[in-house]
Each structure stands twice: as C-alpha cells, then as structure tokens.
Amino acid sequence: MKQIILLHGALGCEEQLKQLKVLLEKEADVHLFTFSGHGGKAFDTSPFSMERLSIELADFVTSENLSRPAVFGYSMGGYAALTLAAAQPHLLGDIVTLGTKFNWSVETAQQESRFLNPEKTAEKVPAFAAYLQKLHGDYWADLMRNTARMMAQLGENHLLPADLATIQNRVLLLLGDADNMVTREETEAVQEQMLHASVEILNQTPHAIEKVDAGKLARRILEFI
C-alpha cells in the first residue's frame, strides 16, 4: 500500500487534514505530521526556518521507517516538501502541493507577513485569535511571530531555479481557481524549472484548506501517486 504524509500549512496543524486522511486511507497508508510550534507541539530548539521544517520532515520519514513516501503538502507544507526534495533527492516519492506560494521576495514577504502580529490580531480579530489558540494553545502568539520571521527569511533566501532543477520527484502543483494568495503565473513558472512537474487548476477552490472539497482533492491525490 502506498505511503503518504500529509503536511499542513502556516498557522495550521494536522487537525485540519483529518477529513482528508479518512478519505485517503481507504487506498493508502496515511501519516499525519505536525511541524514544531504548531498544534500545541513545542518549538524545536533550532531557529524556526523553512530549512528547519524540512529537516523535521526528514527526521519524521526516518523515525517512521517510511520508504520514499508520497507527500501532500498544503501551502507552507508543500514548500517544505520541495525544500527537502531539493536537499535529499531520494528521500521522498511523489509530491502533491496545493496553494503553495513560490513568488518570494523582500517585497512579497513584507506583504504576506504584515498581518502576522499577534497583539493586533487579538485586538482587531479576536475570533481568529481564539481559533489559533484552540489549534496551538499558548504557542499561538510565538508561532505567529516566528512565521513572520520565516517569511522574511524566504524573501531573502528561497528556492532558486537551480534548486528546483535538482528535484527528481514527480510533482503535481495544484492551485485553486479562487486562490487569492497564489497566482497561476508563479505556479507555472516553478513548474517549468522542474523536470517532472505539472500544474492543475481546481475549479471553485479557494486557498483556505477548510473550504476545499476534500473528496475532490483526495481523488486527485490518489490518481497521481
């Protein structure tokens, strides 16, 4: 049975992917993974960065004795999977991403991180702050600050064409037609840099994973892997 790891996005956790897991595990051996600092999980002692997240994923593959597992990565999770694939080409199998942002620069990092202020969030959007506290417990504020710093780092140090060209995995880049965070142009530009990548647009699909049709997504993942 095909092994697959499900990876959540920024400010998310594995709880958001449990419905997808139920649908996939009819035909696959499914593993949920939560990055450090998310879902009530303590932060790793190393600085919070995309490289750190990719190392955590590699450690999980090794600790679970998985053999070239497929990966579904939502948003940030997809970026972490591709970062690992570029660094350790033979560790992962097929990769499916959804709503992963690739167009990182100093300007885009500033734009994306401008709302990641826990004090302002608690004041202006208390319902969202309460939701994050429910997902992450007392770590939620630190997680928001660390995510903002990680985005700033991506603005300075992100996957380059030379990195993407080293990825040997089959990669499916999924993007919702109603995604207001990621563009088709940036997704297709990355696809062109990889040897075995393709892009597909999901109709009537926004960025938020909670609003994605889990049944449609599960079918496409299983068809690909």
Using an 8 Å Cβ cutoff, are 73 and 10 in contact? no
CA–chain centroid gap for 183, Å, is 16
- How far apart, in whole angstroms, are the C-alpha atoms of residue 154 and residue 84? 15
Residue 113: the pLDDT is 85
- How far apart, in whole angstroms, are the C-alpha atoms of residue 202 and residue 176? 5
| pLDDT over 90 percentage in the chain | 87
Residue 78: the pLDDT is 98
> What value, to the nearest 5°, has the Cα angle with vertex 168 and ends 63 and 70?
40
- How far apart, in whole angstroms, are the C-alpha atoms of residue 155 and residue 165? 20
Mean pLDDT in residue range 128-139: 93
CATH number 3.40.50.1820 given to 2-102+159-224: yes
The CB density around residue 108, as the number of other CB atoms within 10 Å, is 17
- The two structure tokens encoding residue 56: 């955590």
Per-domain boundaries in the chain: 2-102+159-224
Mean pLDDT in residue range 2-6: 97
Residue 182: the pLDDT is 96
Report which of 26, 32, 27, 36 is spatially closest to residue 71, judged by C-alpha positions: 32
Residue 45: the pLDDT is 83
> SS3 of 200, please?
strand
Residue 67: the pLDDT is 96
Cβ-proximal residues to 86 (8 Å cutoff; 6+ apart), any chain: 159, 163, 164, 166, 167
- How far apart, in whole angstroms, are the C-alpha atoms of residue 8 and residue 77? 5
Q: What pLDDT, in 10s, does the model give residues 18-74?
A: 999 999 998 999 999 999 999 989 888 888 999 999 999 999 999 999 999 999 999
